[in-house]
Structure 1
């Protein structure tokens, strides 16, 4: 207990010690936390942040509806987020659309401009869900309803390339290859795909599934980038893809997912314009995600699409990996006057049970180091 003296009454009151949670403000000077645990509440918190009103000139043209039970559908749908489609990914049950989700779609009021429909379904979602949407007065288009994740991903990539091509060169000329079995090393592709509209395809560790092989054969003119080490995408797959396209496949790799997220954030291709290129001291924004909450990461790829256009950096729940901390310090802006722009900022994806307050403080400490110096 703590003692507090009231000078007016002359009394001393005993007050309980503040709980640790009382000091855990969800935001710091340079970090903003999206403080939700549930998949749907986090998803809708992101759409409300990016599309806060109907009275904005960046209203979504559509929403992308995906089943929330498998990460592959939503990760592959990330490329559909980018312009000219301009659509957030939203989750649903396969046979039931939660009321909070349909209300949020109606609140945003997707325009339907430059897209086949206001709701684009990417994954095996039932006709019952489609009927709910239509009864709400929304138009619906199925990009894919295939159960097989490899085939579904290829159908989504084909839609992005050929039905509504990306507004960016990187979305029309490049393909990202990741593991369809383990998302840990490839999940950062979700942010870049939303940023540029670059399609994602899935492979097994040592096998290129038949639908994927056919897709690659039909798209030999693209540049292929493997995101991940040989632990998730083996050398046999790299060699097979290279043989099909008759040129080198480029791999972005490191010894662990955290360092891979750094390598991707700073990557600049030598063959085209692919890559985040966050490797200079210009002042940047980042999003920090934890691997267990893949659905938070996919929901938050809107941060790469609009606003500060953030890459994703991965962190552990309980500590900020050295490779990530050192990278953020390395790209801090060098400025003569610390009180002046450019500045750094980061988003923390999830609740304190996902990424602790201590980790958020560590992120704050490595952001805008010069700005915290005495001046």
Structure 2
């Protein structure tokens, strides 16, 4: 079997059991068998780490186990959110619950069932929680009674069900629940399109990172439930509108001005990749809002375009660790806009590369969704280089 530098770099191979993770060391000269998302859940290059599966349930478990290790108080969760795969508006709005005080992942399961791997991860999280008696499982969306009973049987924790008749109503319910649990109602609010999810979902990493709800609108009509959520802020909302007028019209923008100040992000974005770059680069100091991804020494999260559940599964990478904004990629090609941004933040050293700064990227998805070539290209774009422009000789 031929060995590319990527696979030779991955000397440490992690094998996950259903209820946790164990590790084994593979000697460099040992025969390396073909790998799969089951036998090799992580793959790495020097500047990238891949969550090597495109299954949202498996990816959410891997992300959870990567961040909430249970070692030390900072790596112990207070709860988790359960979402049935395939319902992106519910999943995306739920990402705000990743933030404190919940401090836990969004875990996916198949519609109408609780998968064994998800149930096992819930048990693990409850077992390492800061306080097992108050560990909370939020069931997001509509769950039938039998499924709720199954969750209660698997994890005898506090169970909270959040549901509504519409996506906008669900987002409002999350906003109210978060405000109650945290004791604060965030004035910053993101408004995303229900009709153009590729322009909405890049927001999930921010709402997992900082307290702010994601509320929904149509292109030309603002739902009543969103209006109700905005009214709770008594005219003090700072509203961030996601995407150009082709995604959310000027009519909606004008209507939103009745509830506070409106700032449109990505007004000139010609596609979803360009918007993800615009969102990652944006900063509004007045609202304390935005990643301001404009310098080296940063982390990013790369997700296949239109893989909305995967994007939410990976959103905790913005909550703990290196705090990463999300960027869209295509399956076989890194979009020009994404490549240009990564090139613009390429680390440069003057004396020694050992001093940094260093960049890193998480990639979420199998090679069918994000090719090996993309991972290698991202790795190269993030590699530290000499300010002199000479070869790396240190």
Shorter-chain TM band: 0.7 to 0.9
**Aligned-pair distance for 1:53?**
4.0
* Alignment match, 1:88: 105
**Aligned-pair distance for 1:317?**
1.0
Provide the alpha-carbon RMSD of the alignment.
2.8
- The SS at the match of 2:300 is strand
Are residues 20 and 366 of structure 1, via their aligned partners in 2, closer, same or farther at CA, if it must alter by over 3 Å?
farther
* Alignment match, 1:198: 212
Contact 1:252 1:260 in 2 (8 A): yes
Match of 1:34 among 19, 43, 51: 51
* Alignment match, 1:5: none
**Matching of residues 105-124 of structure 1 within 5 Å:** 105-109=122-126, 111=129, 113=131, 118-124=136-142
Contact 2:237 2:261 in 1 (8 A): no
**Aligned-pair distance for 1:231?**
2.2
Match of 1:153 among 157, 161, 171: 171
- The SS at the match of 1:135 is helix
* Alignment match, 1:287: 301
Dislocated runs of 4+, deviation >6 Å: 18-22
Contact 1:90 1:101 in 2 (8 A): yes
**Aligned-pair distance for 1:200?**
0.3
**Residue 265 (1) aligns with residue 280 (2):** yes
Q: What TM-score comes out, normalization by structure 2 length? A: 0.82
- Distance in 1, Cα, partners of 2:175 & 2:391: 47
- The SS at the match of 2:349 is coil
**Matching of residues 315-354 of structure 1 within 5 Å:** 315-336=329-350, 337-354=352-369
* Alignment match, 1:127: 145
Contact 2:122 2:155 in 1 (8 A): no
Contact 2:163 2:173 in 1 (8 A): no
- Distance in 1, Cα, partners of 2:33 & 2:161: 49
- Distance in 2, Cα, partners of 1:178 & 1:349: 23
**Aligned-pair distance for 1:321?**
1.5
- The SS at the match of 1:185 is helix
- The SS at the match of 2:362 is strand
Contact 1:76 1:190 in 2 (8 A): yes
**Aligned-pair distance for 1:119?**
0.5
**Matching of residues 1-375 of structure 1 within 5 Å:** 26-53=43-70, 57-109=74-126, 111=129, 113=131, 118-165=136-183, 172-219=186-233, 220-242=235-257, 244-253=258-267, 254-281=269-296, 283-336=297-350, 337-370=352-385, 373-375=391-393
- Distance in 2, Cα, partners of 1:322 & 1:343: 22
Contact 2:265 2:278 in 1 (8 A): no
- The SS at the match of 2:81 is strand
- Distance in 2, Cα, partners of 1:115 & 1:149: 31
- The SS at the match of 1:119 is strand
- Distance in 2, Cα, partners of 1:100 & 1:248: 42
How many pairs were matched up? Answer: 353
- The SS at the match of 1:329 is helix
**Aligned-pair distance for 1:162?**
3.4
**Aligned-pair distance for 1:95?**
3.0
- Distance in 2, Cα, partners of 1:57 & 1:19: 36
**Aligned-pair distance for 1:234?**
1.4
Gaps of 5+ in 1: 3-17
Are residues 145 and 94 of structure 1, via their aligned partners in 2, closer, same or farther at CA, if it must alter by over 3 Å?
farther
- Distance in 2, Cα, partners of 1:19 & 1:59: 35
Contact 2:136 2:160 in 1 (8 A): no
**Aligned-pair distance for 1:218?**
2.2
Greater Cα shift, 102-111 or 260-269? 102-111
- Distance in 2, Cα, partners of 1:194 & 1:65: 15
Greater Cα shift, 132-141 or 297-306? 132-141
Greater Cα shift, 299-308 or 104-113? 104-113
* Alignment match, 1:9: none
- Distance in 2, Cα, partners of 1:27 & 1:354: 16
Gaps of 5+ in 2: 3-31
